[in-house]
Amino acid sequence: MRLSCHVNGERRCADEVAAHESLLFVLRERFGLPGSKNACEQGECGSCTVYLDGVLACACLVPAGQARGRKVVTVEGLGDDGELDLVQRAFVEAGAVQCGFCTPGFVVAAHDLVRRGYRPTDEQIREALAGNLCRCTGYEKIIDAVRLAAERWWPDGAGEPDEAGGG
């Protein structure tokens, strides 16, 4: 099958995509975007987290055909002009990256939380990132990174949470 979708703002196409191929496989192996990681392929680790039409998805669980005509944003698509985005920078500055394998998934999931319009509590951060696993950091520095990102994204302080799931 031929797959056409928008990835990080660009129209991308792939031919002869097999029915068993996942969106994660297509992103990494056909579109040359290795940022989304392949750790479990079972929807359990979150390392392959991307936005699919603005909603978080585990790309390993999405059959590639389901992405046809849709908008995908990967960790590579968060920053502008090769610059790290605010959440990515916060992960680096907070020392939330060790081996880095989990980091792209955490960054995309954290981005989805931070963009919602309020500074989340630590509990809200833990809840939002519950689907992402890290073997290295013990999570504290990841929480610090998300808190830092939210402080910078919303410098005027915390608002009230809007509806869960964000935009």
Q: Does 107 bind ligand FES (CB under 6 A)?
A: no
Rounded to 5°, the CA angle 41-135-152 comes to: 95
Smallest separation (angstroms) from ligand FES to the CB of 49: 7
Q: Find the binder of ligand FES among 17, 26, 33, 45 (CB under 6 A).
A: 45
Q: How many residues bind ligand FES (CB under 6 A)?
A: 22
What is the closest distance, in whole angstroms, from the C-beta atom of residue 117 to ligand FES in the complex? 27
Q: Is 88 in the site for ligand FES (CB under 6 A)?
A: no
- Smallest separation (angstroms) from ligand FES to the CB of 138: 9
Q: Which is nearer to ligand FES, 38 or 88 (CB)?
A: 38
Q: DSSP strand E in 46-125: where? A: 49-52, 55-58, 71-73
Per CB under 6 A, 92 contacts ligand FES: no
Query: Are 116 and 97 in contact, with CB atoms under 8 Å apart?
Result: no
Among 14, 39, 84, 86, binds ligand FES (CB under 6 A): 39
- Separation in Å, CA 114 to CA 87, 135, 159: 8, 23, 12
**Euclidean distance between CA atoms 56 and 14, whole angstroms:** 22
Q: Does 14 bind ligand FES (CB under 6 A)?
A: no
Q: What are phi and psi of 134, to 5 degrees?
A: -130, 130
47 contributes a contact to ligand FES by CB under 6 A: yes
CA dihedral 105, 109, 115, 116 (to 10 degrees): 170
Provide φ and ψ at 86, rounded to 5°: -60, -40
Query: CA-to-CA distance for 147 and 17, rounded, in angstroms?
Result: 40
Q: Which of 1, 18, 55, 99 forms a contact with ligand FES (CB under 6 A)? A: 99
Could you tell me the smallest distance in angstroms from the CB atom of residue 123 to ligand FES?
21
Positions touching ligand FES (CB under 6 A) are 38-41, 43-48, 58, 60, 97-102, 134-137
